[in-house]
Structure 1
């Protein structure tokens, strides 16, 4: 009995496997916000002036020096599929070429993996005041809304263009919220069906409702936990996309970290285990203070110790953040996870104080560097010199 108990203890405490680790690249969704919520603001915008997907020098540092193998690259639906022609398979080809150039740099030139991130909150036609502006995709009571079928058409077209790149991961949508969970599931399913019909076997990651927050997964009268597992994928290569911030309201807008990940992720982790599903946490972050240092460390270790989690991207890096901070600042500007960024006073940025000090030491020494991205992962290896 003692031997069995000891064996069980060793098994339960064994580290799980993280195959993919990196940062969210925020910048491709920039340039549209309008104080008076004017529709069409910044569309399509000037590439390199109003918005930009990545900075190649920053990617170089994160891959070559920090040995990260995953980048989540944000874009806007309204730029890729212009409002004039509607959501679907008609693309702005100039814009798509800029986006593909960024994805190819990450995946082909640098050999890392890329998550395609339509940063639209399950809305389309007016990103001027995100995350609330625009019509909810699939809302049949809104005559201005794009349909679920159009969402599928869009993903079928995009997936077909990247089907031959095994290092591309399809993130279906950033943070759906304030809508029926059944509609989130329907839209997700339409996208999955279209992706597979396009001949793309790539890994898919799909969100839940309520900003796809892990802490909220099983909460409320219409929780993601009730139905989100009902999706189907003929290739069984779909994981769950989860976001989780550590501040008081889970928004990432306060500098104090007070929401314990082990407590707040317990329900979604149990749900993943119950339904034999894997997950990525593609947004999380923290500020430069002792409480956040400890909680971010615990956050990464929680994912390490629960094999439901196979990858993560911290929020955020990106070419346009400069001295502005994308996470946890209480309106102060301390830079981002973009290499070379500085605080507004010219001092160290969150790249120096949080990424290098706290998160970088927790990046696994071995990650997947070759082969198709999948829910089962691939061969783990040291960074290829």
Structure 2
């Protein structure tokens, strides 16, 4: 069984490498949605909600809505969030000691997507490259690898964490490893250092699956070649130095279309073809690919126009190999996952704060569904 599984990983990973290297034609290999909820229930007093109660303060997926996404909507990609402080308890620190209950719950969600449904799952530590205090994300917690902060987890600990996590999924070819959600306001050179450590740890296990590496400035595509934070170097100055012996690492990009690129406003004003142009050129010049693993918009007419245009732009430029919209998830309820109270989440069957249809109906079915064009399908 082990040899059969491992051979399957090798074959499928080799195919992924070949597709990553493709230079022409449609290259959208992954199209889907974020499943947010594993990071919930910790805001407020530090330590509150840790580890938390499964199904009450946090949850990963609803299997029946995953069925809907796959069987009805024909997507093949789910970004599944979790919290590092739950996976690696603060008492023992970031590393190889896991909360096995939390991991087993997360593993069950990943296996349902990848084994039962046969689709891809992007593993997302939703931590902004910080660890030890998620009470006020994205700003709380110590920056991983910050040697001036005695409370910070080290880059070596981050590599140990990724080595352990990758080893647990080494034989699952449908898993994609996302290094960390939205680093920001830190030295871009340190992001490269942490990204590289994660890649080294993952590859040390023999894992050959795709890895997604984030940059600075919340890994925004529009600001990829710009100074972000307090005079932090552009991501473009450093992220082309990543080394992956398998050449199977792509750049992880987030891109919202509202005025400040936050995804918190009702209206969309930022056309993707303009704001991603510099990133696209950089990817081409450095022979790199990217996945836009987080984007979104409301049901305002401005967004209903710009959202499909963005996906069309990604499909037309072969440096982009995938995308996933923000956000579905099992415990959003009427909370606004993106872009105003009239949207709610993308979870099928949900409602918004006004008690009417949520974004699954008014955004996904309205304008995103028709944009799913998968290479090789």
> 1:166-194: per-residue Cα shift (whole Å, max 9, x none)?
00000000000000000000000000001
Q: Quick one: which of 7, 17, 28 aligns to 2:38? A: 28
> 1:202-249: per-residue Cα shift (whole Å, max 9, x none)?
110000011000011001151000111101001111000000000000
Q: Match for residue 303 of structure 1?
A: 314
Q: CA deviation at 1:15?
A: 5.5
2:325 match: secondary structure: strand
Q: Match for residue 44 of structure 1?
A: 51
Residue 267 of structure 2 corresponds to residue 260 of structure 1: no
In structure 2, C-alpha distance between the alignment counterparts of 1:17 and 1:89, rounded to whole Å: 35
| 1:47-196 pair list within 5 angstroms | 47-196=54-203
In structure 2, C-alpha distance between the alignment counterparts of 1:284 and 1:94, rounded to whole Å: 31
In structure 1, C-alpha distance between the alignment counterparts of 2:26 and 2:281, rounded to whole Å: 15
In structure 1, C-alpha distance between the alignment counterparts of 2:300 and 2:291, rounded to whole Å: 25
Q: CA deviation at 1:336?
A: 1.1
In structure 1, C-alpha distance between the alignment counterparts of 2:336 and 2:116, rounded to whole Å: 28
| Matched-pair contact (CA < 8 Å) for 1:323–1:333 | no
In structure 2, C-alpha distance between the alignment counterparts of 1:161 and 1:77, rounded to whole Å: 15
2:333 match: secondary structure: coil
In structure 1, C-alpha distance between the alignment counterparts of 2:34 and 2:51, rounded to whole Å: 22
Q: CA deviation at 1:325?
A: 1.6
In structure 1, C-alpha distance between the alignment counterparts of 2:293 and 2:220, rounded to whole Å: 11
1:121 match: secondary structure: coil
> 1:28-71: per-residue Cα shift (whole Å, max 9, x none)?
0000011xxx2111000000110000111110000000000000
TM-score where L is the length of structure 2: 0.91
Residue 282 of structure 2 corresponds to residue 271 of structure 1: yes
| 1:241-260 pair list within 5 angstroms | 241-260=252-271
Which sections of structure 1, spanning at least 5 residues, go unmatched?
Answer: 1-13, 368-379
1:211 match: secondary structure: coil
Q: CA deviation at 1:333?
A: 4.7
> 1:73-127: per-residue Cα shift (whole Å, max 9, x none)?
0000000000000000000011100000000000000011000000000000000
Q: Match for residue 355 of structure 2?
A: 346
| Matched-pair contact (CA < 8 Å) for 1:15–1:304 | no
1:240 match: secondary structure: strand
> 1:328-348: per-residue Cα shift (whole Å, max 9, x none)?
11xx25321100111223211
Q: Match for residue 326 of structure 2?
A: 315
Q: CA deviation at 1:318?
A: 0.4
| Matched-pair contact (CA < 8 Å) for 2:114–2:121 | yes
Q: Match for residue 21 of structure 2?
A: none
In structure 1, C-alpha distance between the alignment counterparts of 2:96 and 2:334, rounded to whole Å: 37
| Matched-pair contact (CA < 8 Å) for 2:83–2:125 | yes
Runs of 4+ aligned structure 1 residues displaced above 3 Å come to: none
1:43 match: secondary structure: coil
> 1:3-36: per-residue Cα shift (whole Å, max 9, x none)?
xxxxxxxxxxx853211100011100000011xx
Residue 291 of structure 2 corresponds to residue 280 of structure 1: yes
Q: Match for residue 234 of structure 2?
A: 223
| Matched-pair contact (CA < 8 Å) for 2:158–2:194 | yes
In structure 1, C-alpha distance between the alignment counterparts of 2:300 and 2:94, rounded to whole Å: 43
- The number of residues matched between the two structures is 350
In structure 1, C-alpha distance between the alignment counterparts of 2:263 and 2:312, rounded to whole Å: 20
In structure 2, C-alpha distance between the alignment counterparts of 1:130 and 1:343, rounded to whole Å: 24
Q: Quick one: which of 354, 359, 376 aligns to 2:368? A: 359
